[in-house]
Amino acid sequence: MRFCSTSLAVLAALLLLPPKAAANTEITNFAASERADDALLRVRADAFGWPTMRPRETADWTLVPAPLGTLPQDICSPPSARHLNLTSSDAVAPCPHELWLTLDLDEAAHTRYTKFTLRLSWVASYPTDFYMDILDPAVAASLLALTPGQVETDAPHPEPEPQTRRKYARIRARDAGVRTPPSAFPFSFFPWFPFASVPSNLTAPEDAQVPFVLTLEPLLLSVLPASLLPFLLLAAVVLGAAGAALPWVQAFIGGLVDEARKEMKEKGE
């Protein structure tokens, strides 16, 4: 009996050990309130092929992190300096350390949701810091210093601009420079320990691309990601079934205990 109790205690302690981190995640929640659209920004997004994401979509991307030590505000800054003339044939290529996306939230199927979440996940072995900004059209246009004289369009500039729930995501990456300690002591004596096996160097080369996954989904009740709903429903069903079966289990076990007590009493007499 003592051996059994000790084994259970050891098993519980092992389960409490922190596991290896398989991935890192950055999450940004934002409101999908209507704002004035910006025609010039739409032209810019189309000219440079900004990808578009819609709710309940997941996509894979890669970025080259900015060098270690770069301040967050200096990563691909200022963005307007690279795209001042969208009609010029010698326009500078987009910065390799950032990704711009259009978040299309105007579809009728998604207008009932007022809040959304943009989730970015990447493998923990890549020492990278990610920065996500969700911008309204006017803020993004201001950041890019777009003015009517910088973009040539056939259509007149609409006055006033229509309302839209569309947002723009600016994602930047920077090398975190995480390095491995010189020794794994004392974990080297315990090869089964989660941190016993550590790579010799986690710093990525300067031109190495970091893969990551982006997921855009609505927030149910403004707090719950839609992808968690099936799990919560399953948990509710399991807990409900367990609660319904509990009285029967207690009665069954109680009967066994009463029967055992009766037999022990008879043997004692």
At 255, list the tokens. Answer: 């009967």
Q: State how far the alpha carbon of 6 is from the alpha carbons of 16, 113, 164, 192, 194, in Å.
A: 16, 52, 63, 19, 22
Distance of alpha carbon 18 from alpha carbon 189, whole angstroms: 18
Q: What is the pLDDT of residues 45-103, one digit of tens each?
A: 888 889 999 999 999 999 999 999 899 999 988 665 455 444 444 444 578 899 999 99
Overall residue count recorded for the chain in this entry: 269
Burial class (CB in 10 A: 0-12, 13-18, 19+), 239: exposed
Strand partners, 35: 164
Q: Among candidates 40, 190, 224, which has minimal Cα distance to 117?
A: 224
What is each CA distance from 21 to 27, 123, 125, 198, 255, in whole angstroms? 17, 9, 9, 12, 47
pTM higher than 0.75: no
> What is the per-residue pLDDT across 189-199, written as a single tens digit (0 to 9) for each?
445 444 444 44
Handedness of CA 159, 45, 43, 116 (dihedral sign): negative
